[in-house]
Amino acid sequence: MTPIQPEGDILSRRSSTLRGRLMRGFSATALSPVVTAVVQLVSVPVLLHAWGAAKYGDWLLLSAIPSYLTLSDLGFGNASGSDMSMRVAAGDRKGALETFQSSWALVTITSFTVLLLASVAVWWVPWQRLLRLTTNSNLNAAEIILVFCAYVIVAQQNGVAESGYRCDGHFAAGAFWNSMQRLCEAVAGTTVAVMDGSLLTVALTYLGARCVGSLGYALLLRHKSPWLRYGVRHAKLTTIKKMVAPALGFIALPAGTALSLQGFTIVIGASMGPVAVVSFSTLRTLSRLTFQAVSVVTNALWPELSRAFGAGNISLARRLHRHACQASLGVSLLGGVLLWVFGPSIYHVWIRQKVPFDASCFHILLFVSAVNSLWNTSSVISMSVNGHCRIAAIYMGAAIGSLGIAWVLIPPFGEAGAALALLAADSWMAAFALRTALRQVEDSHKKFLGALFVIPRLREQLQPATEA
């Protein structure tokens, strides 16, 4: 006869499992900003030395265009991850498999259709005149953009696979190998750039590395979660229809991100030329080092928040949100102060005087990074339950509005005008995202603000109690 285990032991074991997943998730996601920082801090000066500012500016402009193809997955990659995590937490693996295969089928068909259309249209655009390219002809630009389009399409397969890692408790493994893929691509691409110098060859190198990495990523998922099988046998049109609203909500998120991170590259390039693009891009990269650290917290919490909501544990979701905001606030303030003081020196050592340092633009971008970190942390609450449609729509509108503001402010204020436009958009988003998150976790402004300044004891806070 199996003895009945005390409820306290069961709760303790569940809490330990949660802590273990969180620690592994934090460790794996911590690798992502490290990889990003290493890639950018190493590749930027190397490519500037190998290509020069004008050619590197062309590279930034051409690689920015295909980022808009992230829309071709119709948002089903992220939506399926949240849906599958909630279903598995509720004991519904069959429903999770239906979501997985339905999402994979739709993403694959849609993305390759978009690639086919792009392969026809890309040759008819006057890229050289439109982007003010200085080292590439229209033909070369079209070839490079088409290769990057194919790269984005292949990368979208990782988004579907990642939902499988996330839902079955293997988020840390998925995040780790995803970072390793990016690192290998960057090493291969930078090496080829130094040896060959051709933008097209470097783009082909990135594509080849991504194809190999994506295949390995899918095979590893099959090994860790054999019940998650690729195919269309369990795909259902009703499942797709049920996910249409949250999936379409996710369309605005990558679109808004592309406008915020890449759209400004194009606007500045059209207004001030490729050298200004390099200046703004490098300043933004340095200012966002703290945001990369905050993303460690939000990415690791996303699957756990979905699990908490799926199991009906609102109390745990509320505590996780409070701790995430604490971490974001602390990292943003500390990192911002350090970069304000040491940023100019770091920039000069990094870029080696090839591009002038714009102090006004950089200081504004530090505020942008801090505000952006805070609203991104709160928005994960909505994304974890596929209740993000309104936030996504407002974000898209704010991103479009910020481009208009930048177009007006760049002539009188230069790069600082673009930074001010970003600050206005992110400030609006911070107020809205926090208010929405507090409502979803059933928290009050007073209790939330009070909790921000209390040092948590992680072991006690993660106990699955019912009150917060």
The confidence score (pLDDT) of residue 113 equals 87
337 belongs to a structural domain:
yes
Alpha helices in 123-170 (DSSP H): 127-131, 138-167
pLDDT in tens, the chain (468 residues): 334 444 344 334 444 476 777 777 777 777 777 887 788 778 888 888 888 888 888 888 888 766 655 554 556 767 888 888 888 888 888 888 998 998 888 888 888 888 888 889 889 988 888 887 888 888 888 899 899 889 988 888 888 888 888 888 888 888 888 889 989 988 998 899 888 778 899 999 999 999 999 999 999 999 999 999 888 888 888 888 777 777 777 777 767 777 777 788 888 888 887 778 888 888 988 888 887 777 777 877 888 888 888 888 888 889 889 888 888 888 888 998 999 999 888 888 888 767 788 899 999 999 998 888 888 888 889 888 888 888 888 988 888 888 889 888 988 888 899 999 999 999 999 889 999 999 999 888 888 888 777 765 544 444 444 434
Query: Within a domain: residue 459?
Result: no
Residue-range definition of the domain harbouring residue 322: 25-454
- Do the domain assignments include residue 16? no
Q: Which residue has the tokens 């970003």?
A: 422
pLDDT of residue 67: 60
Total domains in the chain come to 1
> How far from 443 is each of 317, 336, 450, CA to CA, in Å?
10, 28, 11
- One-letter amino acid of 276: A
Check the CA dihedral 48-51-57-59 and report its sign: negative
In a domain, 1, yes or no: no
Q: Nearest Cα to 217, choosing from 170, 149, 167?
A: 170
- Rounded alpha-carbon distances, angstroms, from residue 202 to 35, 65, 153, 266: 19, 16, 17, 21
Nearest to 306 by CA among 13, 25, 102, 59: 25
**Residue pair 414/283 in contact by the 8 Å Cβ criterion:** no
| Residues ≥6 apart with Cβ < 8 Å to 34 | none
Find the Cα–Cα–Cα–Cα dihedral 311, 317, 320, 322, rounded to 10°.
-170
Nearest in space to 168 (alpha carbons), one of 88, 63, 287: 88
Q: What is the dihedral of CA 250, 102, 122, 396, to 10 degrees?
A: -10
CA 254/CA 65 separation, integer angstroms: 13
Q: What is the DSSP letter of 454?
A: S
Q: Is residue 5 included in any domain, yes or no?
A: no
Could you give the CA distance from residue 71 to residue 67 in angstroms, rounded to a whole number? 9
Tokens of 132: 């003010």
pLDDT at 364: 93
Cα separation, 398 vs 400, whole angstroms: 5
Predicted local distance difference test score (pLDDT) of residue 68: 56
pLDDT score, position 80: 81
Quote the tokens at residue 310: 């799926």
Report how far residue 56's alpha carbon sits from residue 280's, in angstroms, rounded to the nearest whole number. Answer: 13
Concatenate the DSSP letters of all residues of 88-108 into one string.
HHTT-HHHHHHHHHHHHHHHH
User: Which residue bears the tokens 């209390």?
Assistant: 454
Q: Is residue 465, in this structure, part of any structural domain at all?
A: no
- Identify the pLDDT of residue 10: 36
What pLDDT, on a 0 to 100 scale, did the predictor assign at position 69?
58
Global pTM value: 0.68
